[in-house]
Amino acid sequence: MTELTYTKLRVTLNHRVAKVVIDNPPINVLDVTLMGEVRHLLASLHNDPEIRVIVFESADPEFFVAHVDMTLGEQPEALKALQRDVPTGLNPFQAFAEALRAQSQVTIVKLAGRARGGGAEFVAAADMAFGAEGRAGLAQCEALMGIIPGGGATQYLSQRMTRGRALEVILGADLFDARTAERYGWINRALPADELDDFVTRIAENIAALPDGVIAAAKQAVPHIVPGDGFERESKAWMDLIFRPAVGQLMTDQLKAGAQTRDGERDLESLLRGVIARSA
């Protein structure tokens, strides 16, 4: 068994499975450092023949990855850092999710808590995701911040569910429980919370133990649907909204009301809607 050291990730390599525990208190917000560490980890493991499966989970039982850091707009240097080494045609958040999608290993999300915004896009970009009934939750809540998803959700959700359901997710902006997410195709399965750990461990180790070449052949034979200009259209639509002064003010007001705090994030959709109602 080997361990890799990061500041916001705890990584354990065992039986050809990399277990990655996300630990970025207080709510696992997807900030520049966390994004950088995940991308570095993916790159370091990409060509490692001894690692066949990567399992992502959270040190926080309530939050997998809350969402992208809402204060990024106030951090110009951080935004510049995000722009480095981004492939042509993608914005930094799409590039982050696409790095996960392009991983040579099988990627699995063990979802025991909430994942919203960029966190939900992380889930959709993984090869597989399994959620805990009564505890897991998924939401694309960006519309309540005056924007749309900008990290691939418009493309990923369109591949996992009908257009009507994708629009329901994006414009309805509600938190989806694990059973509904399973029914819509957002995750593979919803499992009783006390069975989630054992199930994910078993499927990860079973996949990792397959004969040489099987995983690569399967991932090649079951390709991702290439979205064409979908990422470009998503990015343009997102950027047309994100730089509006009214959007910046709305997010500032939502942060003041408790967004990105543990209490506020437990019912984030109600908090965001409340701020919209008061500002109307």
Instruction: Say if CB 112 and CB 132 are below 8 A apart.
Output: yes
Buried b (16+ CB within 10 A) or exposed e, 84-102: eeeeeebbbbbbbbbbbee
- pLDDT, residue 148, reads 98
Euclidean distance between CA atoms 251 and 59, whole angstroms: 27
Euclidean distance between CA atoms 37 and 135, whole angstroms: 26
Residues 6 or more apart whose CB falls under 8 angstroms from that of 121 comprise 93, 97, 140, 149, 151, 152, 153, 156
Euclidean distance between CA atoms 14 and 12, whole angstroms: 6
Residues 6 or more apart whose CB falls under 8 angstroms from that of 271 comprise 254, 257, 258, 259, 264
Q: What is the CATH number of domain 2-213+222-279?
A: 3.90.226.10
Euclidean distance between CA atoms 139 and 158, whole angstroms: 15
Domain boundaries, the chain: 2-213+222-279
Tens of pLDDT along the chain (280 residues) come to 455 679 999 999 999 999 999 999 999 999 999 999 999 999 999 999 999 999 999 999 999 999 999 998 777 787 777 778 888 889 999 999 999 999 999 999 999 999 999 999 999 999 999 999 999 999 999 999 999 999 999 999 999 999 999 999 999 999 999 999 999 999 999 999 999 999 999 999 999 999 999 999 999 999 888 778 999 999 999 999 998 999 999 999 999 999 999 999 999 999 999 999 999 8
